[in-house]
Amino acid sequence: MALVIPCTSLYRQTPLLPRISSLKRGAFSFRCRRKITSELQSPVSAISPNRNPLPSIPTHKVTVHDRKQGVVHEFVAPEDQYILHTAESQNSTLPFACRHGCCTSCAVRIKSGEIRQPEALGISAELKAKGYALLCVGFPSSDVEVETQDEDEVYWLQFGRYFARGPIERDDYALELAMGDE
């Protein structure tokens, strides 16, 4: 008995793969029938330059004034990538700790432009409204210019009202242990 399956279905319909692999060896033989269209046959260079096969992701210029290091970082970041990850891929060293938007190590103050940061748990809606952002979970929505902030200052703005005795001392050993668990 011959089971004829179009090649494309072997790769596009993943639920089919477990059923095929679970069949007894020799119970079925497989012949591959491939559909060929003119688009598949034409080489990539034959596609007209006016027709872009993949939608392009908008990019924006990001300028980061690092107050602690006294350095200005400039790079281009796509709208669908975190600013911190893009900076690192372009050899710019920016401050960070958790990479999950939960602390204030990568906090910046937006001087101009917009940053979309739906996962920024380390700063409140109130601080976001005042122009604060977290680079580790921030996406550029336009050309943006930001300035790094003192981590303790932003932490105090975020959580200070809950701690009557003043700023909390950072426990670097606990942070190292937490980072080692990942």
Task: Tell me, rounded to whole angstroms, the distance of Cα 83 from its chain centroid.
Answer: 8
Give how far Cα 113 sits from Cα of 142, 143, 150, 152, Å. 6, 6, 21, 24
pLDDT digits (tens, 9 = 90+) for 123-139: 999 999 999 999 999 99
Residue 155 burial class via C-beta count within 10 angstroms: exposed 0-12, middle 13-18, buried 19 and up: buried
| Residue 160: predicted pLDDT | 76
Q: How many alpha carbons fall within 13 Å on the CB side of residue 95?
A: 21
CA angle 64, 99, 71 (to 5 degrees): 20
Whether pLDDT at 76 is above 60: yes
Whether pLDDT at 8 is above 50: no
| Residue 60: predicted pLDDT | 97
pLDDT digits (tens, 9 = 90+) for 143-179: 999 999 998 888 888 877 666 555 556 667 666 766 7
Q: How confident is the model at residue 142 (pLDDT cuts 50, 70, 90)?
A: very high
The full set of domains in the chain, from first to last, is 2-40 (no CATH), 59-180 (3.10.20.30)
